[in-house]
Amino acid sequence: MEPILQVSGLTKTFHANGKPDFTAVDQVSFLLYPGETVGIVGESGCGKSTLAKLLCRLLDVTEGTIRLCGQDITKARDRELFGAYRNIQMVFQDPLTSFDPRRTLGDGIGESLRNAGVSKTERERRVVELLEQCGLSETFAGRYPHEVSGGQCQRAAIARALAIKPKLLLCDEATSALDVTVQQQIMELLKELREKEKLSYLFICHNLALVQSFCDRVLVMHEGKIVEEGTTDQVIFYPQSDYTKILLDSIL
């Protein structure tokens, strides 16, 4: 089987005037297969979100390559990138700032469908369906991002990412603002899509119990590098790196 995502030697160095260069992602390589779920864990600031933003090309790559569904998207732009977004979508860590404050949540959720040429009535139907899947009533389509709670905004962001039925979903702390009962409901939805639609996930999450219940494999990042990887149980039951051990000892 061909991997859906092939990342090799991926590196991101930030440059800013008057400041030393900062390498946030350092020679990261891994593969992800269709229907597979890979978790990424690691200390706050270790480079997880930067990696995710590189993968969906919101940041320019300093070094290395990204292949998505067999296609090299490392330098993809415009039409090519638009095409890639049918396959890869992202739920951002900061849901509020990921929505345009001047547009309703319904508009935001339906945007990728509009770009794909889906008719207005069909779009409206899909938006309501997506909201309901994420535990929100259809009235939320008409609300603005600042008029909903943190967890409601996060669920709208999940609905938006699912709208175009991507093959790969990058979840950056996608359930971190949800109470455990709603979280459970969202996890059920993600598991169902994995089974029914063969959706693959890259699941960034600091909740190790959640990672354990959802991911096949896990990558542990530390200071921009992958320091440990293996099946989820392997890493959690028999941690190798010091950092992974500290992490497992810190659970409250």
Ligand X SMILES: Nc1ncnc2c1ncn2[C@@H]1O[C@H](COP(=O)(O)OP(=O)(O)OP(=O)(O)O)[C@@H](O)[C@H]1O
- For residue 97, the partner it binds in other proteins, Mg ion, ligand X, none, with Cβ less than 5 to 8 A by kind, is other proteins
Q: What is the DSSP string of 158-215?
A: HHHHHTT--SEEEEESTTTTS-HHHHHHHHHHHHHHHHHH--EEEEE-S-HHHHHHH-
If binding is defined by CB under 8 A, does position 180 make contact with other proteins? yes
Residues numbered 26 to 65 that lie near ligand X (CB under 6 A) are 42, 44-50
Q: Torsion over CA of 103, 107, 108 and 112, rounded to 10 degrees? A: -140
If binding is defined by CB under 6 A, does position 225 make contact with ligand X? no
| Element at 126 (helix H, strand E) | helix 120-133
The amino acid sitting at 151 is G
If binding is defined by CB under 8 A, does position 37 make contact with other proteins? no
If binding is defined by CB under 8 A, does position 97 make contact with other proteins? yes
Side-chain half-sphere CA neighbours of 191 within 13 A: 12
Task: Pick the binder of ligand X from 3, 6, 8, 14 (CB under 6 A).
Answer: 14
Q: How far is the CB of 150 from Mg ion (least distance, A)?
A: 4
Q: How far is the CB of 79 from ligand X (least distance, A)?
A: 27
C-beta separation of 15 from 216 below 8 A = no
Q: Which residues contribute to the site for other proteins (CB under 8 A)? A: 14, 16, 19, 22, 41-45, 48-50, 93-94, 96-97, 146-152, 155, 173, 176-184, 206-210, 212-213, 233, 236-238, 246-248, 250-252
Q: Which residues contribute to the site for ligand X (CB under 6 A)? A: 14, 22, 24, 42, 44-50, 93, 146-152, 177
